[in-house]
Structure 1
């Protein structure tokens, strides 16, 4: 009797071990895993050298520094997954941030929620401009967004001139978003985390989100399967613009001043964060969570090297090395997958 009762458990044991092994293998294959390991290792090493790096204020500064880039990297990931790129995000953020300062200066009593809504609408409009030009004109996004980078920056320069809006020009409750904390997390960082979760669920659990991956993998095949490629790519650019708008408003809350040069050069950091976070530059793979972790890694590198008193040149060099490493790893992974597919097809013949 006992032997019979033990048989199911004995039979299930190999299956359970197989499931555990499969689960471990799946974790090891995560594109975000190397980035997470690098982040933890960097933080730990810096803490050993400089214990103040993980003080309460140090952790808060790390999170605040990463918040804006995290939001921008999430939006950029949506675009890159479709085999496109948006180089205008820095200029668009500057335009939204200066608009936020101008709105508070003209209407000091305007509700903060209205400012957020208007900023996201403006960002969505700028994203729609990019998306329409890319999808209708059929011109590579690299060229289009390089042009709108200068157009948006030129508009901001003409509008702002030498004008700057400082922290004293905004309501106290708006500036408090980057000062107040919940369980040690700054409010604006919590907003960014919520956005990452929402977008991640959208990408993994909805048809439009999965369509973006299909488009990035093979646009022609996506069309044959009935996916509305033009609408989906336009959606990615608009969603990216909305997130840029949100980041622009939070930028105005986070920093002491906004003006004509706000956001200059930020687009390169954003693309780097997405690529380092495992989003394939050739499209079709990667996650917004990985992009957010990549943003946290890059901003942590800057803070860590500053804490270690390393020259700023090396900060830029390390970021460049990470980008090259991410692209090479992604390429090698693609070649390995293609080789496995060829072997599998050969065996089936």
Structure 2
């Protein structure tokens, strides 16, 4: 318990509570349970993408194509629904999961087999995926009147006051937290990111582990693609443009080390919640939503500086202990 109170996660919880209290002094309705449920639901896509991005970053990689993956998957399933309205929602979700996984696998294979830096690979595939959206859609939108009621209704259906979209974020978070903390695969992600050379000597295939991380990230992005277009009832070329910045910001704010091998999914979850509250509070406190990207970018810089300082302090502690034993 003492360890948790001193952790980055505890600090984030305290900051989030303080932020809510500050907002409530001006607009008490913001902290109403029903409104907080809406804020969480708005943040659910960011949470889902942050989970996948965290796993990728843990392995010393980064996936800048998640928003483009989301957009392409969303466009494909929206066009499929418009062309064949009778396709059941489970089949639509299966298509989204598979398509997202394929795009993630493409990233992972290039990084693994060609040894190209992940930032270069995913920057390239991000552009390619956006281009494919324009090619298949001809630049046209898929609007709400072209989508079936079942297609748009699934993520909006409420269970115990929270829409299905929000519940999916909760369940996905719980599932991957267990996977990362309780399975050999989760330990492999940390080992590969912490020290790739040592991981090889323990029998781990670094490239294969990074490949699996990209597949997981892509799968979550594909799922989010369907949920996004269904919830907002629209699909277009520039959907979720720039959203990858918010995803990286959520991870870094949550304490995920860009260098890999350090951080928790709980931290990424809380980082996404923090950004979600900021984003929803901006219009309430009279700040233009166009400042969102600037705030996200500033949050990344501050969080990276904070993480770097914390790592230096840990290093000093280790050196002092070593000197004490010498």
- For 1:260, the equivalent position in structure 2 comes to 237
- For 2:94, the equivalent position in structure 1 comes to 117
Alpha-carbon distance in 2 for matches of 1:331, 1:203: 23
Kindly report the root-mean-square deviation, in angstroms, between the aligned alpha carbons of the 2 structures. Answer: 1.5
2:321 maps to 1:344: yes
Unaligned runs of 5+ in 2: none
Alpha-carbon distance in 2 for matches of 1:298, 1:53: 15
- For 1:331, the equivalent position in structure 2 comes to 308
Evaluate the alpha carbon distance shift between residue 262 and residue 313 of structure 1 in structure 2; reply closer, same or farther with a 3 A threshold.
closer
Larger deviation, residues 158-167 vs 133-142: 158-167
Larger deviation, residues 291-300 vs 80-89: 291-300
2:175 maps to 1:198: yes
2:215 maps to 1:238: yes
* Structure 1 residue 313 displacement after superposition: 5.2
Residue in structure 2 matching 1:171, options 127, 138, 148 = 148
Residue in structure 1 matching 2:277, options 300, 313, 326 = 300
Alpha-carbon distance in 2 for matches of 1:317, 1:244: 23
Alpha-carbon distance in 2 for matches of 1:114, 1:178: 15
Contact map agreement 2:67 2:240 (CA 8 A) in 1: yes
2:201 maps to 1:216: no
Alpha-carbon distance in 2 for matches of 1:116, 1:91: 18
- For 2:134, the equivalent position in structure 1 comes to 157
Residue in structure 1 matching 2:23, options 39, 46, 52 = 46
Alpha-carbon distance in 2 for matches of 1:164, 1:315: 25
Q: Secondary structure at the match of 1:165?
A: coil
* Structure 1 residue 211 displacement after superposition: 0.9
Alpha-carbon distance in 2 for matches of 1:180, 1:160: 28
Contact map agreement 1:72 1:243 (CA 8 A) in 2: yes
2:52 maps to 1:75: yes
- For 1:84, the equivalent position in structure 2 comes to 61
Question: What's the CA shift string for 1:179-220, capped at 9, x where partnerless?
Answer: 322221111110111001100100000011111111111111
Q: Secondary structure at the match of 2:134?
A: helix
* Structure 1 residue 314 displacement after superposition: 4.5
Question: What's the CA shift string for 1:271-319, capped at 9, x where partnerless?
Answer: 1111111111111111122112211211210111211112345444433
Larger deviation, residues 42-51 vs 145-154: 42-51
Residue in structure 1 matching 2:163, options 186, 201, 217 = 186
* Structure 1 residue 107 displacement after superposition: 1.4
- For 1:6, the equivalent position in structure 2 comes to none
Unaligned runs of 5+ in 1: 1-22
The TM-score with structure 1 as length reference comes to: 0.89
* Structure 1 residue 328 displacement after superposition: 1.4
* Structure 1 residue 140 displacement after superposition: 0.9
Alpha-carbon distance in 2 for matches of 1:33, 1:322: 18
Alpha-carbon distance in 2 for matches of 1:98, 1:27: 42
